[in-house]
Amino acid sequence: PELSEEPPAEMVKMTKSKTFQAYLPNCHRTYSCIHCRAHLANHDELISKASVNVISPFFIFFRVNVGCGPAEERVLLTGLHAVADIYCENCKTTLGWKYEHAFESSQKYKEGKFIIELAHMIKDNGWE
């Protein structure tokens, strides 16, 4: 018999799944992208939710489930930082930024932390 490169139709399973770096557990409180509902962060990774920048409020996280662009130097309210824009892996919306390097010693604690603007996320899974 002739070999086919395509699997038989009964073996093909078409799904409309989203592309994430990781699916976060349903049992945990999570934050999702407001634009496409992709999982962004677990509530346990939240450092602070009292931060406000000049444009919109934001949360600070230890780890997030997003893509990261190249770092560039920017002058923010707290001084010069090397930051990289972060984006949703599914819909590619820019969500905030990651602090790559702080040039002032008083700001070093921000290095490696992620900022997500509240306008880009919603609460998902397990919130009462």
CA distance 115 to 60: 5
* Chain segment 9-68, per-residue pLDDT in tens: 443 333 334 444 555 555 578 889 999 989 898 888 889 876 655 567 888 899 888 999
* Chain segment 54-79, per-residue pLDDT in tens: 567 888 899 888 999 999 999 988 88
Give the neighbor-by-neighbor strand order of the sheet with 114-117. Answer: 46-52, 57-61, 114-117, 94-102, 79-87, 67-76
pTM recorded for the entire structure? 0.74
The CATH number of 30-124 is: 2.170.150.20
pLDDT for 16 equals 38
pLDDT for 57 equals 83
pLDDT for 4 equals 45
CB burial of 32-58 (b: ≥16 within 10 Å; e: otherwise) equals bbbeeebbbbbbebeeeeeeeeeeeeb
The more confidently predicted of residues 125 and 83 is 83
Q: What is the mean pLDDT of residues 118-128?
A: 80
* Chain segment 77-95, per-residue pLDDT in tens: 888 999 999 999 999 999 9
